[in-house]
Protein backbone atom coordinates (compact mmCIF):
# COMPACT_ATOMS: atom_id res chain seq x y z
CA UNK A 1 0.00 0.00 0.00
CA UNK A 2 1.63 3.21 -1.15
CA UNK A 3 2.43 6.11 1.16
CA UNK A 4 3.23 9.61 -0.05
CA UNK A 5 6.04 11.46 1.69
CA UNK A 6 6.26 15.23 2.20
CA UNK A 7 9.69 16.65 3.13
CA UNK A 8 10.11 20.29 4.14
CA UNK A 9 13.51 21.78 3.32
CA UNK A 10 14.85 24.96 4.88
CA UNK A 11 18.66 25.03 4.86
CA UNK A 12 18.80 21.24 5.39
CA UNK A 13 19.45 19.94 1.88
CA UNK A 14 22.24 17.62 3.09
CA UNK A 15 19.85 15.85 5.45
CA UNK A 16 17.18 15.69 2.73
CA UNK A 17 19.68 13.76 0.58
CA UNK A 18 20.20 11.26 3.42
CA UNK A 19 16.44 10.84 3.84
CA UNK A 20 15.98 10.20 0.12
CA UNK A 21 18.65 7.50 0.22
CA UNK A 22 16.88 5.91 3.19
CA UNK A 23 13.47 6.10 1.48
CA UNK A 24 14.87 4.11 -1.42
CA UNK A 25 14.96 1.15 0.96
CA UNK A 26 11.16 1.24 1.35
CA UNK A 27 9.40 -1.56 -0.60
CA UNK A 28 6.56 0.50 -2.11
CA UNK A 29 6.91 4.27 -1.62
CA UNK A 30 4.45 6.65 -3.22
CA UNK A 31 5.19 10.17 -4.39
CA UNK A 32 7.99 11.92 -2.50
CA UNK A 33 7.44 15.69 -2.56
CA UNK A 34 10.24 18.00 -1.44
CA UNK A 35 8.99 21.48 -0.57
CA UNK A 36 11.97 23.82 -0.70
CA UNK A 37 11.53 27.03 1.28
CA UNK A 38 15.15 28.17 1.12
CA UNK A 39 15.50 31.45 -0.78
CA UNK A 40 18.51 32.78 -2.64
CA UNK A 41 21.79 31.03 -3.28
CA UNK A 42 20.99 28.10 -0.98
CA UNK A 43 17.77 27.19 -2.80
CA UNK A 44 17.67 23.72 -4.33
CA UNK A 45 16.61 25.38 -7.59
CA UNK A 46 19.65 27.69 -7.74
CA UNK A 47 22.46 26.39 -10.01
CA UNK A 48 25.30 25.58 -10.01
CA UNK A 49 25.43 24.72 -6.30
CA UNK A 50 25.29 20.97 -6.91
CA UNK A 51 22.39 20.67 -4.47
CA UNK A 52 19.80 19.95 -7.15
CA UNK A 53 22.12 17.38 -8.73
CA UNK A 54 22.61 15.73 -5.34
CA UNK A 55 18.86 15.53 -4.80
CA UNK A 56 18.32 14.06 -8.27
CA UNK A 57 20.96 11.38 -7.72
CA UNK A 58 19.64 10.45 -4.27
CA UNK A 59 16.05 10.23 -5.56
CA UNK A 60 16.77 8.46 -8.85
CA UNK A 61 14.80 5.31 -7.98
CA UNK A 62 11.89 7.21 -6.43
CA UNK A 63 8.81 8.87 -7.87
CA UNK A 64 9.45 12.41 -6.68
CA UNK A 65 8.81 16.08 -7.36
CA UNK A 66 10.20 19.39 -6.15
CA UNK A 67 8.07 22.36 -5.12
CA UNK A 68 10.17 25.53 -4.91
CA UNK A 69 8.93 28.55 -3.01
CA UNK A 70 10.83 31.77 -3.66
CA UNK A 71 10.80 32.51 0.09
CA UNK A 72 9.93 30.72 3.31
CA UNK A 73 6.13 30.67 3.39
CA UNK A 74 5.97 28.86 6.73
CA UNK A 75 5.42 25.24 7.69
CA UNK A 76 1.63 25.36 7.28
CA UNK A 77 1.66 26.43 3.64
CA UNK A 78 4.64 24.21 2.82
CA UNK A 79 3.02 21.11 4.28
CA UNK A 80 -0.34 21.83 2.64
CA UNK A 81 1.42 22.22 -0.71
CA UNK A 82 3.19 18.88 -0.34
CA UNK A 83 0.09 17.03 0.87
CA UNK A 84 -1.89 18.27 -2.14
CA UNK A 85 0.63 16.81 -4.60
CA UNK A 86 -0.07 13.14 -3.87
CA UNK A 87 -2.98 10.72 -3.94
CA UNK A 88 -1.86 7.71 -1.87
CA UNK A 89 -4.08 6.66 1.08
CA UNK A 90 -1.37 7.53 3.62
CA UNK A 91 0.86 10.60 3.99
CA UNK A 92 4.14 10.63 5.90
CA UNK A 93 5.27 14.09 7.07
CA UNK A 94 9.01 14.59 7.51
CA UNK A 95 10.77 17.81 8.52
CA UNK A 96 14.05 18.43 6.72
CA UNK A 97 16.11 18.51 9.91
CA UNK A 98 15.31 14.84 10.61
CA UNK A 99 16.79 11.91 8.68
CA UNK A 100 14.26 9.21 7.79
CA UNK A 101 14.67 5.86 9.54
CA UNK A 102 13.98 2.96 7.11
CA UNK A 103 10.96 0.92 8.11
CA UNK A 104 9.18 3.74 9.94
CA UNK A 105 6.36 4.01 7.41
CA UNK A 106 5.58 0.30 7.56
CA UNK A 107 5.63 0.21 11.36
CA UNK A 108 3.30 3.20 11.68
CA UNK A 109 1.01 1.95 8.94
CA UNK A 110 0.52 -1.31 10.83
CA UNK A 111 -0.62 0.73 13.80
CA UNK A 112 -3.12 2.76 11.81
CA UNK A 113 -4.53 -0.28 10.02
CA UNK A 114 -4.98 -2.22 13.26
CA UNK A 115 -2.28 -4.83 12.73
CA UNK A 116 0.07 -3.50 15.40
CA UNK A 117 -0.02 -4.48 19.07
CA UNK A 118 -2.82 -2.53 20.77
CA UNK A 119 -2.94 -2.75 24.57
CA UNK A 120 -6.38 -1.16 24.55
CA UNK A 121 -8.82 -0.57 21.71
CA UNK A 122 -9.13 3.13 20.82
CA UNK A 123 -12.64 4.56 20.95
CA UNK A 124 -12.11 6.94 18.00
CA UNK A 125 -10.78 6.48 14.47
CA UNK A 126 -7.00 6.58 14.31
CA UNK A 127 -5.96 9.36 11.96
CA UNK A 128 -2.26 9.70 12.75
CA UNK A 129 0.57 7.92 14.55
CA UNK A 130 3.89 9.34 15.70
CA UNK A 131 6.35 9.51 18.56
CA UNK A 132 6.70 11.08 21.96
CA UNK A 133 8.47 14.47 21.64
CA UNK A 134 10.99 13.52 24.34
CA UNK A 135 12.62 11.08 21.92
CA UNK A 136 13.45 13.82 19.44
CA UNK A 137 16.62 15.08 21.07
CA UNK A 138 17.75 12.28 23.38
CA UNK A 139 18.71 9.54 20.91
CA UNK A 140 21.79 9.28 18.75
CA UNK A 141 21.09 8.37 15.14
CA UNK A 142 22.85 5.02 15.60
CA UNK A 143 20.13 4.09 18.12
CA UNK A 144 17.26 4.99 15.81
CA UNK A 145 15.13 2.07 14.67
CA UNK A 146 11.75 1.39 13.16
CA UNK A 147 10.77 -1.28 15.67
CA UNK A 148 7.28 -0.64 17.00
CA UNK A 149 6.28 -2.51 20.17
CA UNK A 150 2.80 -1.10 20.62
CA UNK A 151 0.75 2.00 21.16
CA UNK A 152 0.87 4.64 23.81
CA UNK A 153 -2.16 6.57 24.99
CA UNK A 154 -4.32 8.86 22.92
CA UNK A 155 -2.63 12.19 23.44
CA UNK A 156 -2.83 15.94 22.88
CA UNK A 157 0.98 16.10 22.48
CA UNK A 158 1.01 16.64 18.75
CA UNK A 159 4.35 18.16 17.77
CA UNK A 160 6.15 14.95 16.80
CA UNK A 161 3.53 13.42 14.44
CA UNK A 162 3.62 16.52 12.22
CA UNK A 163 7.43 16.53 12.15
CA UNK A 164 7.80 12.77 11.73
CA UNK A 165 4.56 10.83 11.52
CA UNK A 166 1.99 9.03 9.39
CA UNK A 167 -1.49 10.30 8.57
CA UNK A 168 -4.46 8.87 6.74
CA UNK A 169 -5.11 11.03 3.68
CA UNK A 170 -8.78 11.08 4.71
CA UNK A 171 -7.75 13.37 7.57
CA UNK A 172 -6.72 16.09 5.13
CA UNK A 173 -10.07 16.04 3.37
CA UNK A 174 -11.55 17.60 6.49
CA UNK A 175 -8.46 19.23 8.05
CA UNK A 176 -5.55 21.36 6.86
CA UNK A 177 -2.69 23.26 8.46
CA UNK A 178 -3.88 26.78 9.31
CA UNK A 179 -2.62 29.45 6.90
CA UNK A 180 -4.35 32.35 8.63
CA UNK A 181 -2.31 35.42 9.63
CA UNK A 182 1.12 34.56 11.09
CA UNK A 183 0.68 30.88 10.18
CA UNK A 184 1.18 31.89 6.55
CA UNK A 185 4.65 33.23 7.32
CA UNK A 186 7.92 31.93 8.78
CA UNK A 187 7.51 31.33 12.47
CA UNK A 188 7.41 28.79 15.26
CA UNK A 189 4.66 26.87 16.97
CA UNK A 190 0.91 26.28 17.23
CA UNK A 191 0.13 25.06 13.70
CA UNK A 192 0.49 21.53 15.10
CA UNK A 193 -1.94 22.22 17.95
CA UNK A 194 -4.41 23.76 15.54
CA UNK A 195 -4.42 20.68 13.33
CA UNK A 196 -4.96 18.48 16.39
CA UNK A 197 -8.04 20.51 17.35
CA UNK A 198 -9.39 20.15 13.82
CA UNK A 199 -8.81 16.40 13.94
CA UNK A 200 -10.48 16.07 17.32
CA UNK A 201 -13.50 18.02 16.05
CA UNK A 202 -13.71 15.68 13.04
CA UNK A 203 -13.49 12.56 15.22
CA UNK A 204 -9.89 11.57 14.44
CA UNK A 205 -7.49 10.35 17.11
CA UNK A 206 -3.69 10.45 17.38
CA UNK A 207 -1.53 7.81 19.06
CA UNK A 208 2.13 7.75 20.02
CA UNK A 209 4.12 4.57 19.36
CA UNK A 210 6.29 3.33 22.19
CA UNK A 211 9.14 1.65 20.32
CA UNK A 212 9.77 3.88 17.31
CA UNK A 213 12.81 6.15 17.61
CA UNK A 214 14.43 8.81 15.46
CA UNK A 215 17.05 11.51 15.90
CA UNK A 216 16.35 15.22 15.49
CA UNK A 217 19.55 16.34 13.74
CA UNK A 218 19.16 20.06 14.33
CA UNK A 219 16.54 22.58 15.32
CA UNK A 220 16.59 24.25 11.94
CA UNK A 221 13.52 26.48 12.13
CA UNK A 222 14.40 28.35 15.31
CA UNK A 223 18.11 28.36 14.46
CA UNK A 224 17.59 29.94 11.04
CA UNK A 225 14.93 32.35 12.26
CA UNK A 226 17.45 33.71 14.74
CA UNK A 227 20.28 33.70 12.21
CA UNK A 228 18.20 35.65 9.68
CA UNK A 229 16.84 38.05 12.29
CA UNK A 230 13.23 36.92 11.75
CA UNK A 231 10.67 36.98 14.59
CA UNK A 232 9.38 33.58 15.68
CA UNK A 233 5.78 34.94 15.93
CA UNK A 234 5.10 32.44 18.70
CA UNK A 235 2.79 34.71 20.69
CA UNK A 236 1.02 35.98 17.55
CA UNK A 237 0.35 32.41 16.56
CA UNK A 238 -0.90 31.57 20.04
CA UNK A 239 -3.38 34.46 19.83
CA UNK A 240 -4.74 33.26 16.50
CA UNK A 241 -4.98 29.70 17.78
CA UNK A 242 -6.87 30.75 20.91
CA UNK A 243 -9.22 32.95 18.87
CA UNK A 244 -10.01 30.04 16.54
CA UNK A 245 -10.72 27.61 19.38
CA UNK A 246 -12.09 29.75 22.22
3-state SS class at 220: helix
- pLDDT tens for the chain, 246 residues: list them: 899 999 998 888 889 999 999 999 998 899 999 999 887 666 766 665 677 788 889 999 999 999 999 888 999 999 999 999 999 999 999 998 888 888 889 888 888 887 544 444 445 577 888 765 444 443 445 555 544 444 454 444 445 688 888 999 999 999 999 999 999 998 888 998 899 889 888 888 888 776 666 777 776 566 667 776 777 888 999 999 999 998
What pLDDT shows up at residue 130? 75
Task: Give the H/E segment covering residue 56.
Answer: helix 51-58
Number of neighbouring beta carbons within 10 Å of residue 179: 14
Q: Which residues pair with 208 in a beta bridge?
A: 130
User: How far is it, in rounded angstroms, from Cα 163 to Cα 183?
Assistant: 16
What is the gyration radius of the CA atoms in the chain, in angstroms? 17
Phi, psi of 20 (to 5 degrees): -65, -40
CA 244 – CA 235 distance, rounded (Å): 14
Fold classification of 3-245 (topology level):
Spore Coat Polysaccharide Biosynthesis Protein SpsA; Chain A (3.90.550)
Question: Do 80 and 187 form a contact (C-beta atoms < 8 A)?
Answer: no
Number of H helices, E strands in the chain: 9, 8
Q: What is the pLDDT of residue 239?
A: 94
Give CA–CA dist 77/236, Å, rounded: 17
Q: What is the pLDDT of residue 49?
A: 62
Angle at 107 between CA 104 and CA 110, to 5 degrees: 145
Pick from 1, 10, 19: nearest CA to 141 = 19
Domain residue ranges in the chain: 3-245
Burial of residue 241 (CB within 10 Å: 0-12, 13-18, 19+) is: buried
d(CA 37, CA 40): 10
Question: What are the two backbone dihedrals, phi and then psi, of residue 127, each rounded to the nearest 5 degrees?
Answer: -105, -20
Asked if residue 184 lies in contact with residue 236, where contact means CB atoms within 8 angstroms, the answer is no
pLDDT of residue 189: 85
Amino acid sequence: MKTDVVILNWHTWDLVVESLLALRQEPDPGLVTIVDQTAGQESLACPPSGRREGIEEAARDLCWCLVVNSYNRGNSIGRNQGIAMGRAPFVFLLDGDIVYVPGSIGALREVLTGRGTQPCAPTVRLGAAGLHPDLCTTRKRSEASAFCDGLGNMTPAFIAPTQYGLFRREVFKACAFCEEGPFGEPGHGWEDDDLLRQMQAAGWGVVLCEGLKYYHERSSSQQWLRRLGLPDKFEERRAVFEARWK
